[in-house]
Amino acid sequence: MSDENPYDDLPDPEPSNEAKSLRKAAEEGAKARAEADAIRRELAFVKAGIDTDSKIGQMLLKTYEGDLNVEAIKKEALEIGALKAEAKPEPVPFTADPEDVKFAEERRALATGASVPDAVEPDPYQTAHNHFEGGLKRGMSNEDAMAAAIGVIREAAMKNDSRVFRPQ
């Protein structure tokens, strides 16, 4: 008996429809997987702060071979200049309104039991009006500006400022 297969010279049968559909599904699955991997990769770069629309960002996206974690991508991007080091904003110095400082000092004096003579104090109604207008200029709502103005008059009354109790 010979080792030859008698069916070797016959043409291969046509693949069945089922085999064709399985092959097609496998190809589509491979494409979908590759597309999902590309999207995951780009998302990792975006999370790392890389502008993937810039030329250097696109170059890094195509050529990077390291881990796809944010820190590793940032490190590589900083090394090649695709990402600038984060600059810490300079703190803005606080500047207090001189009138607010004055009122805070007066509150402290009142809290310790000291009183401020009436002659030194400006007219509480004029001060309240100035607080109201100043508050509006600084962007306060009408209600908040009015509350600040009433607070000035109330503080003057608590100091027994006779100008607050004068008849209208």
pLDDT tens digits for range 121-134: 688 888 889 989 99
Residue 127 lies in a domain: yes
pLDDT for 119 beyond 60: no
Domain boundary among 80, 109, 125: 80
Residue 146 lies in a domain: yes
Any idea what the Cα angle at residue 140 is, between residues 139 and 142, rounded to 5°? 125
111 and 154 share one domain: yes
Rounded to two decimals, what is the model's pTM?
A: 0.40
pLDDT for 9 beyond 70: no
C-alpha span between 151 and 134 (Å, rounded): 14
Between 95 and 42, whose confidence is greater? 42
107 and 154 share one domain: yes
Which residue range is the domain that position 105 belongs to? 98-158
Residue 69 lies in a domain: yes
**Exposure string for 138-162, b = 16+ CB within 10 A, e = fewer:** eebeeeebbebbeebbebbeebebe
41 and 71 share one domain: yes
- Structural domain total, the chain: 2
Residue 6 lies in a domain: no
Domain boundary among 80, 114, 135: 80
144 and 115 share one domain: yes
168 pLDDT tier (thresholds 50, 70, 90)? very low
Q: What is the pLDDT of residue 133?
A: 92
pLDDT for 116 beyond 60: no
Domain boundary among 80, 109, 128: 80
Whether 135 contacts 144, CB under 8 Å: yes
Render pLDDT for 48-107 as a digit per residue (tens, 0 to 9): 888 888 888 888 888 888 888 888 888 888 888 777 666 566 776 767 777 777 877 888
Render pLDDT for 152-167 as a digit per residue (tens, 0 to 9): 888 888 888 878 876 5
Residue 166 lies in a domain: no
Residue 62 lies in a domain: yes
Q: What is the pLDDT of residue 89?
A: 67
Residue 76 lies in a domain: yes
HSE-CB at 112 with a 13 A cutoff on CA atoms is 7
59 and 114 share one domain: no
Q: What is the pLDDT of residue 33?
A: 92
Residue 50 lies in a domain: yes
